[in-house]
Structure 1
């Protein structure tokens, strides 16, 4: 959309039959489910794409701000509602021993971190590691706590373990561990606790559907169900793309919006990318994947809100299972999205539960787990928490890491490309331009500025600006 509105002739090829990647709909009977991004922040980024293309965003999608955006259930039987209303949030935190002054200090800190990110990181297009060496950026880097873990940072402000655990969950938004990832990513709290959490009316995939409609209006040629299988390279330039049906399309520039760790090595011969060999890719630690259950119920459960989390009793053990042992946790944290709480038309017969559990990236142990048994294990855990779904399930469906790998060419089923468990991977994410090839660019969650739908969209805006300035 951004390139087309600037006068470029754009052709977009998508391996799946729908546009939008993981932002897609599933249906079970009368129930509709939003796969991919369920917690939506930064609506201004999505609106910006439409407005900069010369149209009115609300003609394509609208956002509704959630009041109680997440209900956090802890192992000791207590719960804490999160909201962007700071006065309500202070009242909710008071029962966990958090003073108003401590919360105000925390909000100021994450506000400062977010401002540094928007000023120095989000708008940049990183084409090589040298782009990180500018004096202003280097100075900013040292202000965002690169040497402090997210967990340690949160313990500076809060003593109650439940509050720390609740905020530590932000590491999973980038597929990483709070005990390893830098405190920089606490700025996600700014989005949820100051800006707020939103829901795109009609379901979050309506954003992708609105983008598709606007792209058509701008003359973008869309080719669904057309999988790229090879990029032809000569003299360090991409000359064109070959597709699974045998067709070939010439090009001036190529933007790869798939998972860089999977698609780049698949499409480009190794001799043409000496700066990103298969061995280098294989040494990288992928982010976590997801084990998902879609469950259509025959009633609405009064204890459920739009978003809820049932935390494990040992959070550190859960991440040790995922990253060190590379196994499914016996006591995982369980996230449930119930969009019918906000939009009953999404599931007229009862709740539509999108149940997500953190899962390890695909590895040699994956054939040792029964997906059906693990699903039943999750239901059993929820029953022990007072949420007995069994009698009310009309139909359910599992989406496994292997299916995520197959459907979206996600490297080892990882949701966010490389994990942010090391400082290098947290700050030196794959650049937006191929180092060895003159006209290949990268956008999406596996490159800069990072994972999550708003960051993915920003990567597209940034690369479009870079290409526009070069032409």
Structure 2
């Protein structure tokens, strides 16, 4: 009889886990509190305009291809991936603009135009990180929740490539002297809610991945990746229960005994997958005889930045690229104010996503569905967003209009929604509104990650998603699903008893 698995949360981690489990013969039920799948990665609809609430692009598409192949499916039967070119257009304080491409020859031409004399430095960066990612990829098969993971041969071979004791800025400055060019290879850390002056140098593989693999936009938006996963799950007869919020996770000393839904239903399974925000779940869902040993320590962890996001439906085709980044005069000050001082910056970085220039399904023809995002402190800041929402929104739009010469921008607004850290926490159950989870530092990954402590206490519980693995982007979330499923399969094989 097929083993039963209950998954809490229909985000990309939960859906990827379900696909892999179903392909291996498990019976899977997913319980999602919302009326749609995706959580913070879902689609937002405002009239005839459609927006991705989560990632603005997909890189490392081979990871997605691998997921579908594991389910005996061809990704391209479910999705059409459109290349984003240029990757983004970066506007620097000096007045320079830089628009790299997924085509390395085009990037070199652009590099020579804007930052001449750096061609060999780019080659060194790419070759150095190609080697790094080869050594690091096998490490994703381990949790590093115990000392033995640190002395495995794969780990020992990788040590010279781990950039131990170096920040990302330290690592990037080995290749590029120009500070604005360094930003072009480090600003991607805003996708993790962290500062390149603090995040470990190992994360240089993330900008490398964009420059090497390119970035892609699925027709219909990034949320269509989740719809494709949902289709495969349904083809395997997996069950996705919407509007099915989990109220309690019941436990015994060493395992999960069941989950209780808000409507009173009880669900029992052989294995349980947590794809909810980990800090929220630990604080609100677990019912235990004794308090979780690490529960109080969760509050002492450092959490990522949040985001102030403006979604605009415009009755004109905005004349900007698919992705645009406007840098402040001093990016380091902005990063420090956001992640450490936890105050609103007077001068900030702005990320504009305008998928309508690539995909005409996101808005009516000749119109634009635009997302404008600014990194802001998480809710440890105690910022009163009810008071700050309108003035900060106006300041962002004024900055966009001035820097991009879009003086009539607001005259074209047909639809609008603003999401602040307050809504990220209240409506999406994200602890502190920290949309990228805990900060990815050496102290908070591996043995310092509460995920490993949770699994040690409850042997039939596995965590997937942004909290589970190094990296918060979709490819690494899918890796967390692969890791969890491999552990479940291995555990069940070990538990098979020889018939009498």
TM-score per shorter chain, which class?
over 0.9
Matches within 5 A, 1:21-60: 21-60=39-78
* Deviation by residue 1:313-347 (Cα, 9 ceiling, x = unmatched): 11111111112221221111000111101012211
Indicate if the aligned counterparts of 1:362 and 1:412 stay in contact, CA closer than 8 A.
Answer: yes
- CA gap 1:270/1:129 in 2 versus in 1, 3 angstroms: farther
Q: Which residue number corresponds to residue 340 of structure 2?
A: 324
- C-alpha distance in structure 1 between counterparts of 2:291 and 2:485, whole Å: 23
Change (3 A) 1:133 1:16: farther
Secondary structure at the residue paired with 1:435?
helix
Could you say which residue in structure 1 is the equivalent of 2:25?
7
Going from structure 1 to structure 2, the CA distance change for 1:364 and 1:119 (only over 3 Å counts) comes to: closer
Shift of 1:273: 5.9
Query: How far apart in 2 are the matches of 1:209 and 1:12?
Result: 14
For the 8 Å contact 1:124–1:462, the answer to whether it is kept is yes
Q: CA deviation at 1:232?
A: 1.0
SS of the aligned residue for 2:39 comes to coil
Deviation readout 1:342-374 (Å, 9 max, x if unpaired): 012211241211111001111252216511111
- 8 Å CA contact 1:299, 1:351 repeated in 2: yes
Superposition deviation, residue 129 in structure 1: 5.6
Q: Does 1:176 align with 2:197?
A: no
Which of 327, 334, 341 in structure 1 is aligned with 2:350? 334
Unaligned runs of at least 5 residues, structure 2: 1-18, 493-500
TM-superposition CA deviations, 1:385-438 (whole Å, max 9, x none):
023322222221101112122333211111221112x42225554445622112
Question: Relative to structure 1, is the Cα distance of residues 99 and 373 closer, same or farther in structure 2, using a 3 angstrom cutoff?
Answer: same
User: Where does residue 218 of structure 2 map in the other structure?
Assistant: 200
Are 2:131 and 1:112 equivalent residues in the alignment?
yes
Structure 1 segment 15-414 matched on structure 2, within 5 A: 15-94=33-112, 95-120=114-139, 122-128=140-146, 130-269=148-287, 272=290, 274-277=292-295, 279-302=296-319, 304-348=320-364, 349-367=366-384, 369-385=387-403, 386-388=405-407, 389-414=409-434
| Cα distance change, pair 154–34 in 1 and its aligned pair in 2 (3 A) | same
The total of aligned residue pairs comes to: 467
Structure 1 SS opposite 2:120: helix
| Cα deviation code 1:134-156 (max 9, x no counterpart) | 24314413422021111121122
Asked if 1 retains the 8 angstrom alpha-carbon contact of 2:294 and 2:450, the reply is: no
SS, match of residue 232 in structure 2: helix
CA contact (8 A) 1:290 1:360 kept: yes
Change (3 A) 1:409 1:441: same
Greater shift in the superposed pair: 361-370 or 392-401: 361-370
Matched residue of 2:36: which SS? coil
SS for the counterpart of 1:242 is strand
- Is the CA contact (8 Å cut-off) linking 2:310 and 2:419 kept in structure 1? yes
Shift of 1:46: 1.8
In structure 2, the residue matched to 1:424 is: 443
Please state how far the C-alpha of 1:384 moved relative to its aligned partner.
2.0
Cα RMSD (Å): 1.8
Q: Separation in 2 of the partners of 1:192 and 1:3?
A: 29
1:272 to 1:137, Cα distance in 2 relative to 1, 3 A: farther
Asked whether the 8 Å contact 2:41–2:54 carries over to 1, the reply is yes
The answer on whether the counterparts of 2:58 and 2:217 sit within 8 Å (CA) in structure 1 is yes
Tell me how far 1:271 sits from its aligned partner. 5.1
Give 1:12 deviation, angstroms.
0.6
1:441 matched to 2:457:
no
Would you say the 8 A contact 1:241–1:250 is kept in 2? yes
Secondary structure, counterpart of 1:424 in structure 2:
coil
Residues 233 and 272, structure 1, Cα contact 8 Å, conserved in 2: no
CA spacing shift, 1:430–1:449, aligned 2, 3 Å: farther
Asked whether the equivalents of residues 325 and 350 of structure 2 are also in contact (C-alpha less than 8 Å), the reply is yes
* Partners of 1:324 and 1:270 in 2: CA distance: 34
Unaligned runs of 5+ in 1: none
Is contact 1:32–1:352 with CA below 8 Å preserved after alignment?
Answer: yes
Deviates more, 1:362-371 or 1:312-321: 362-371
TM-score by length of 2: 0.89
- In 2, the alpha carbon distance for the partners of 1:15 and 1:460 equals 20
